[in-house]
Amino acid sequence: MQVNLNIQYEHLNSIQDLDIDDQDLLKAAIKATAFSQAKYSKFKVGAAAKLDNEAIVIGFNIENVSHSVTVCAEIALLSNIIINHSQHKIVTLALGYNNLKGHSKTPISPCGHCRQALIEYEQQSSNKIRCILGSLDGEIIIINGISNLLPLAFSNAMFNNA
Ligand SMILES: [Zn+2]
């Protein structure tokens, strides 16, 4: 039996096509790139989450000369939320970036490591996270739920299988 997976997302041409709250969240993510510590790659990533109490929390990537020590913006964001906002859930997550040339037009997408971290957070919070994947001045993708970014995800439900 062959099974086909369908992933749905929304595609927008620019930040102006978002409603004002989403624009503000993506702008917060883009602003967070200014704090990025990306001295090796110059690939500056910013993340911003709107929580269920309307608070906006940010994260950014932190590179290290030992590359495996590098922390992605999404992981920094999750750490910030888990430490400082543990009673609240992420409603919407926005990601933005700029690259070596200081530009970006293609929507960013979380790496596999971050998808795994985000899906576990999503499952534990029992709340689908809406993701706005952006760039500085290009197209935008909106995905409703991390499960759409990581189908067939590894989960702790497997620990309890007979
Ligand atoms: Zn990552």
**Alpha carbon of 151 to ligand 1 centroid (Å):** 17
Q: With a cut of 80, say whether residue 162 has pLDDT above it.
A: no
44-51 and 56-60 as β-strands: parallel, antiparallel, unpaired? antiparallel
pLDDT score for 158: 82
User: Which CATH number does the domain housing residue 146 bear?
Assistant: 3.40.140.10
In a domain, 4, yes or no: no
For 18-45, what is the mean pLDDT? 97
In a domain, 161, yes or no: no
Tokens for 113, please give them. Answer: 């490591």
**Alpha carbon of 45 to ligand 1 centroid (Å):** 10
Query: Is 139:12 a contact under the CB 8 Å cutoff?
Result: yes
Q: pLDDT, tens digit, for every residue of 41-82?
A: 999 999 999 999 999 999 999 999 999 999 999 999 999 999
Pairwise CA distance, residues 43 & 126, whole Å: 32
For 83-95, what is the mean pLDDT? 97
In a domain, 61, yes or no: yes
pLDDT score for 87: 96
Q: With a cut of 80, say whether residue 161 has pLDDT above it.
A: no
Domain range enclosing 36: 10-153
In a domain, 102, yes or no: yes
**Alpha carbon of 47 to ligand 1 centroid (Å):** 11
**Alpha carbon of 120 to ligand 1 centroid (Å):** 14
In a domain, 17, yes or no: yes
Query: Is 93:119 a contact under the CB 8 Å cutoff?
Result: no
**Alpha carbon of 114 to ligand 1 centroid (Å):** 4
Q: How many CB atoms neighbour CB 81 within 10 A?
A: 20
In a domain, 85, yes or no: yes
> Average pLDDT, whole number, for the chain?
95
Decide which of 102 and 11 is more confident. 11
Count how many domains the chain has.
1
140-144 and 130-133 as β-strands: parallel, antiparallel, unpaired? antiparallel
In a domain, 19, yes or no: yes
- 92 forms beta bridges with 50, 130
Decide which of 136 and 141 is more confident. 141
Q: With a cut of 80, say whether residue 126 has pLDDT above it.
A: yes
Q: With a cut of 90, say whether residue 117 has pLDDT above it.
A: yes
Tokens 């510590």, located at residue: 37
Residues serving a catalytic function are 74
Decide which of 137 and 121 is more confident. 121
Give the orientation angle of helix 73-84 with respect to helix 112-125, to 10 degrees. Answer: 30
For residue 51, the one-letter residue type is L
